[in-house]
Amino acid sequence: MNKVDVYNSDYTKLNHSYIVMYETYEKLIQCEDADEEVLVVLENILRALNPALDLIKSQMTVKTRYKDEGNTSAADGKNESGKNSGTGNGSVILHGKFGDD
């Protein structure tokens, strides 16, 4: 097992933990009797975890499956009709078919 395998398997759990902590932090800062020490600890965790989650997400493996061979590959930046699906700023929009159709 390598780090990307761990990132792929655990990113969702880590991100969910971040969201739960953030929601708790948001509620606590509105309390009149909030414990300042707890707020500081949560804030520090959130500040450290946010860029770590971004780094993990950027290194995760993207797995794309195509339903049939009729679709062109994502690498050539074209949709099913063969037209370029660029955004004009160098980005490419990928189109795929999902579901049971």
What is the average pLDDT across 68-86? 49
Gyration radius (Cα) of the chain, Å: 20
| C-alpha span between 46 and 21 (Å, rounded) | 8
Percent of the chain's residues with pLDDT above 70: 60
Is pLDDT of 13 > 60? yes
The better pLDDT of the pair 19, 2 is held by 19
Q: Determine the pLDDT at residue 97.
A: 64
| C-alpha span between 76 and 84 (Å, rounded) | 9
Q: Determine the pLDDT at residue 31.
A: 95
| 62 close to 56: Cβ distance less than 8 angstroms | no
* Beta partners for residue 49, in sequence order: none
Show the CA angle centred on residue 92, arms to residues 80 and 4, nearest 5°: 105
Long-range contacts of 22-29 (CB under 8 A, 24+ apart): 22/46
pTM: 0.58
Range with the lowest mean pLDDT among 7-16, 23-32, 41-50, 64-73?
Answer: 64-73
* Beta partners for residue 78, in sequence order: 84
